[in-house]
Amino acid sequence: MAGGAFVSEGGSGGRDYEGGVTVFVVITCMVAAMGGLLFGYDLGISGGVTSMDEFLSKFFPQLEKQRVKAKHETAYCKFDDQKLQLFTSSLYLAALVASFVASVVTRKYGRKVSMFTGGLAFLTGALINAFAINVTMLIIGRLLLGVGVGFANQSTPVYLSEMAPAKIRGALNICFQVAITSGILVANLINYGTSNMAKNGWRVSLGLAAVPAILMVIGSFFLPDTPNSMLERGKYEEAKQMLKKVRGTENVDHEFQDIRDACEAAKKVEHPWKNIRQSKYRPALVFCSAIPFFQQITGINVIMFYAPVLFKTLGFGDDAALMSAVITGFGHIC
Instruction: Give residue-wise pLDDT tens across range 212-269.
Output: 899 999 988 888 888 998 998 888 899 999 998 888 888 888 889 888 888 888 877 7
> Average pLDDT, stretch 151-160?
90
- Give the Cα separation of 12 and 254 in Å (integer): 10
pLDDT band at 79 (very low <50, low <70, confident <90, very high): low
Which of 149, 129, 150, 152 is closest to 141 using CA atoms?
A: 129
Spatial neighbors of 310 by CB under 8 A, at least 6 apart, are 47, 75, 302, 303
- Tens of pLDDT, residue by residue over 51-67, are 788 888 888 887 766 66
Q: For position 15, what pLDDT does the model report?
A: 66
Asked if 188 contacts 44 with a C-beta cutoff of 8 angstroms, the reply is yes
Which segment, 93-102, 219-228, 266-275, is predicted with the most confidence on average? 93-102
- Give the Cα separation of 133 and 208 in Å (integer): 17
Does the domain made of 23-225+306-333 have the CATH classification 1.10.730.10? no
The answer, yes or no, to whether residue 11 has pLDDT greater than 50, is no
Q: For position 127, what pLDDT does the model report?
A: 96
- Tens of pLDDT, residue by residue over 123-132, are 999 999 999 9
The answer, yes or no, to whether residue 75 has pLDDT greater than 60, is no
Q: For position 7, what pLDDT does the model report?
A: 42
pLDDT band at 5 (very low <50, low <70, confident <90, very high): very low
